[in-house]
Homo-oligomer: A and B are copies of this chain.
Amino acid sequence: MDQEAVMARLDAQAIETPSWAFGNTGSRFKTFPLPGAARSVWEKIEDAAEVHRQTGIAPRVALHIPWDRVDDPAALGRFAASRGIGIGAINPNLFQDDDYRLGSLTHPQAAVRAKAAAHLEECIAIMKATGSTDLSLWFADGTNYAGQDDFRARRRRLRGGLEACAALLPKGARMLIEYKFFEPAFYYTDLADWGAALAHARAIGPQAAVLVDLGHHAQGVNIESIVAVLLDEGKLGGFHFNARRYADDDLIVGSVNPLELFLIYAELVAAEADADTGTAACARTVSYMIDQSFNIEEKIEGMILSVLNCQEAYAKALLIDRAALAAAQEAGDVLGAHRIVMEAFRTDVRPLLAGWRRRRNLPEDPVMAHRDGSYLREIRRDRGTAAAASGYGD
């Protein structure tokens, strides 16, 4: 791919940031409040706009309801637009109400299931008001003890709830079904892996697709191959990017194994090419979203770093010599094919990306521009340090 083609692809890249990462979050042990952390959805949107201002590729912010609930969602959309960004996915919360102790759409009691369904309906209304086209569904549903509930019964309840929800989606909107290996459930999770999510997405039809969160797999799982399978099935809907070593660590994207992030992008780049020829067409409509929860680090800087790491991985993936790779694979040249991929990974794309930023009138070093800029200074001064609740022991 020539330099101009790479630049054009970089121009088109867009990473959605999550509103919840800009407020104080923590572990079950402690939430450490940081100076300047956002205290409201309006401040979160301001922070998301700062990330976009510095990076140029973060034009949307995802919302989480009820954390980001306001009286007039349309006004929220206009506020975001005034700051230069749009509203991305709407994320319902089906885990933080006392009623959801034993599940939401999977709950043994019909009344709780109905409450969950009503919340989904509210979120769809917010989609309409804000122009969002993605309903991003994560269910904390599961059980902690053998025998606690009936797996198949829960599965049928979930299916029914998803079908009813899909019927309410506006035309052109999608339902992204996320899976997670464990947490907060510790014995069984209703949507524990991509196979579970795909089975529901298939049954529901074209409005449903699967959302891959990089932190939601068992140890050792080859995520890039799951991405490839979902592309092949036409059911890859989107990503929640972050990094993990142990559990759902929610660390900065690419901070644990940058090679893995690059290999995921390598699959996406290949599928984008194939989409032109008719297969893996869903590669055209993938939603690239970050989902992180900062425990100890500066939030906006951490988010800028995550966005940049996605950009770097994408840029490197664009540099893979695809024709040479296909030839080596065809020839069964194991190490030759591996080398072609690794040489792209080895490339230092910082100069390339600095050039792209100059063309776009963006700061060459977005992290330092943010560190040294007025925005950070002002929010620290104006917001102070919010008191933070903690979920453990108090």
Q: A residues bordering B, Cβ < 8 Å?
A: 20, 23, 25-33, 64, 67, 93, 95-96, 98, 100-102, 108-109, 140, 143-153, 155-156, 181-184, 186-189, 192-196, 198-199, 218-222, 224-225, 228-229, 231-233, 244-247, 249, 251-252, 255-260, 263, 266-267, 270-271, 274, 279-280, 293, 295-298, 301-302, 305, 312, 325-326, 329-332, 334-335, 337-342, 345-348, 350, 367, 389-394
Residues of B within 8 A of A30 (CB): 95-96, 100, 140, 184, 391
Q: For residue A211, give the distance in angstroms from its CB to the closest CB of chain B.
A: 15
Which one of B26, B218, B301, B347 lies within 8 Å of A335 (CB-CB)?
B301
The complex is assembled from copies of this chain, and their number is 4
Which one of B195, B293, B337, B393 lies within 8 Å of A25 (CB-CB)?
B393
Which one of B147, B195, B224, B266 lies within 8 Å of A325 (CB-CB)?
B147
* A297 and B155 form a contact (CB under 8 A): no
Known contacts A98-B32, A145-B255; is A194 also within 8 Å of B192 by CB? no
Which one of B101, B182, B348, B393 lies within 8 Å of A220 (CB-CB)?
B182
Closest residue of chain B to A350 (Cβ to Cβ) is: B346
Which one of B146, B150, B340, B348 lies within 8 Å of A263 (CB-CB)?
B146
Residues of B within 8 A of A267 (CB): 151
* A245 and B25 form a contact (CB under 8 A): no
Which one of B150, B233, B257, B348 lies within 8 Å of A259 (CB-CB)?
B257
Known contacts A147-B342, A263-B146, A329-B149; is A184 also within 8 Å of B29 by CB? yes
* B23 and A393 form a contact (CB under 8 A): yes
* A192 and B394 form a contact (CB under 8 A): no
* B67 and A245 form a contact (CB under 8 A): no
